[in-house]
Amino acid sequence: MTEHESSATRTAPLAGQTVRHGTGVNSNRAFPTEAHPQHLDPFVLFERFYIEPDQGFPMHPHRGFEIVSYMIEGGMDHEDSLGVTNTARENEAMHITTGGGIRHSEFPADGAGCNGLQLWVNLPREEKEMDPDYSDAGPDELPTQDLDGATVTTVVGDGSPLSTHTPLEYLDAEVTDSWRWELPDEWTGFLYVVDGAGTVDVGGTATGSADAIAEGEVLPVTDAESVDVAAEGSLRAVAVSGRPHGEPIRQQGPFVL
pLDDT in tens, 71-80: 999 999 999 9
pLDDT value at position 5?
37
3-state helix, strand, coil in the chain (%, to 5): 5, 55, 40
Fold classification of 3-256 (topology level):
Jelly Rolls (2.60.120)
CB 28 within 8 A of CB 18: yes
* pLDDT over 70 percentage in the chain: 94
| Mean of all residue pLDDT scores within the chain | 93
Q: How confident is the model at residue 22 (pLDDT cuts 50, 70, 90)?
A: confident
Q: Which residues of 182-211 are buried (b: 16+ CB within 10 A; e: fewer)?
A: ebeeebbbbbbbbebebbbbbbbbeeeebe
Question: Could you read off the pLDDT of 181-194 as tens digits, one per residue?
Answer: 999 999 999 999 99
Question: Could you read off the pLDDT of 230-254 as tens digits, one per residue?
Answer: 999 999 999 999 999 999 999 999 9
Q: Give 117's contacts (C-beta < 8 A, 6+ positions apart).
A: 46, 47, 48, 49, 69, 70, 72, 192, 194, 238
Residue 43 has pLDDT above 60, yes or no: yes
Residue 256 has pLDDT above 90, yes or no: yes
Question: Could you read off the pLDDT of 114-129 as tens digits, one per residue?
Answer: 999 999 999 999 999 9
| Domain ranges, ordered by start, for the chain | 3-256
pLDDT value at position 156?
98
pLDDT value at position 24?
85
Q: Which helix (H) or strand (E) holds 8?
A: none
What is the Cα–Cα distance from 3 to 203, expressed in whole angstroms? 10
Tell me the mean pLDDT in the region 163-190: 97
Sequence length of the chain is 257
Nearest to 153 by CA among 166, 164, 138: 138
pLDDT value at position 208?
53
What is the Cα–Cα distance from 209 to 240, expressed in whole angstroms? 23
Residue 136 has pLDDT above 60, yes or no: yes
Tell me the mean pLDDT in the region 44-56: 96
Q: How confident is the model at residue 8 (pLDDT cuts 50, 70, 90)?
A: very low
Q: Which helix (H) or strand (E) holds 6?
A: helix 3-6
* pLDDT over 90 percentage in the chain: 90
What is the Cα–Cα distance from 26 to 18, expressed in whole angstroms? 7
DSSP string, 138-195: -GGGS-EEE-SSEEEEEEESTT-S---SS-EEEEEEEESSEEEEE--TT-EEEEEEEE
What is the Cα–Cα distance from 62 to 101, expressed in whole angstroms? 6
